[in-house]
Structure 1
Amino acid sequence: MDAYGHVNHANTVTLLEEARVAMVFTEAARQGIEDMTRGMVVVKLAVHYRAPLVFDGNEIDIEISVRELRVSSFVLDYSVHRGKAGSSDVAVTAETLMAPYDVEQGRPRRLSEAERDFLAGWHSGGSRG
């Protein structure tokens, strides 16, 4: 919490990270897409605050979708809802530019076909928050 009783910026970014990890690593692995665990980095992060997030015991839900899907990058869009996903009470929107990264080689890599297919299932309009 910050001095005003709102969820502070660092914690908001952590909430976004947790949603991204659940999608990019956990859900992908559940579907047999192991390539993403080889490495994925955040290239750019932008957070837009529309209303304060207040820790009051109520549910916070995050919807996530892929807006742009390129050969070696993709953009994730987030909507942070105070309440159930799909509600009109959106407190935060955000986006991250992501790039696959070869940790062993220490350099960017291209998305595999399996990764692209997985991400295509999350394309804007088909989000699975």
Structure 2
Amino acid sequence: MARHIYPCPLRWSDMDAFGHVNNVVFLRYLEEARIDFMFRLRPRDGSPSFSGGSVVARHEIDYVRPLVHRHEPVIVESWVTRIGAASLTISYEVKDAEGASQVYVRASTVVVPYDLEAGRPRRISAEERSHLQQYLEEADEAALVA
């Protein structure tokens, strides 16, 4: 199982009055990583996979420890924990560096593919499913409770 690695820069405006990255900013970090994962990594053969649009149906986020603003980027690791007929769940860890044990945030997002022309959700295509399965790691229920 592969994980998508996205180096995310911290910006001065991300900081709150206490010098920490503001809690809501982490959702933007997840969004940047998700877009990179779903759209920039799609097949390069002109396939329309993942380009039709998607909507976020749910976010779940656990703040593990405060992230003090600094100049070095954080790493956002992304992987898929569930693929349904018309939705998928992407999980994330925001941490210091690839392979580092210092985790600041654990999160997940339920994404629904969306047909922009028809104005409604759509099913995940076979091509999209094949791509997503490269990143599929079944969710460990015990780890989710901890």
Quick one: which amino acid aligns to residue 58 of structure 2? K
**Residues 46-57 of structure 1 aligned to structure 2 (within 5 Å):** 46-57=60-71
Question: Aligned Cα RMSD in Å?
Answer: 1.5
Residue 118 of structure 1 aligns with which residue?
Answer: 131
- Structure 1 contact 33–115 (Cα < 8 Å) conserved: no
Post-superposition Cα deviations, 1:84-123, rounded to whole Å, max 9, x if no partner, equal 1221100101100011111110111100000000111111
Stretches of structure 2 lacking an aligned partner (at least 5 in a row): 1-14, 139-146
Post-superposition Cα deviations, 1:33-80, rounded to whole Å, max 9, x if no partner, equal 422110111100111100111221233001000000111111000000
For the residues of structure 2 that align with 1:29 and 1:14, how far apart are their CA atoms?
A: 25
Q: In 2 relative to 1, CA 55–32 (structure 1 residues): closer, same or farther, beyond 3 Å?
A: farther
Work out the percentage of aligned pairs sharing the same amino acid. 37
Considering fraction of residues, name the structure with more helix: 1
Residue 66 of structure 1 aligns with which residue?
Answer: 80
Following superposition, the deviation at residue 29 of structure 1 comes to 4.4
Stretches of structure 1 lacking an aligned partner (at least 5 in a row): none
- Alignment TM-score, normalising by the size of structure 1: 0.89
Aligned residues: 124
For the residues of structure 1 that align with 2:49 and 2:123, how far apart are their CA atoms?
A: 11
Residue 118 of structure 2 aligns with which residue?
Answer: 105
For the residues of structure 1 that align with 2:26 and 2:81, how far apart are their CA atoms?
A: 21
Quick one: which amino acid aligns to residue 90 of structure 2? L
- Alignment TM-score, normalising by the size of structure 2: 0.79
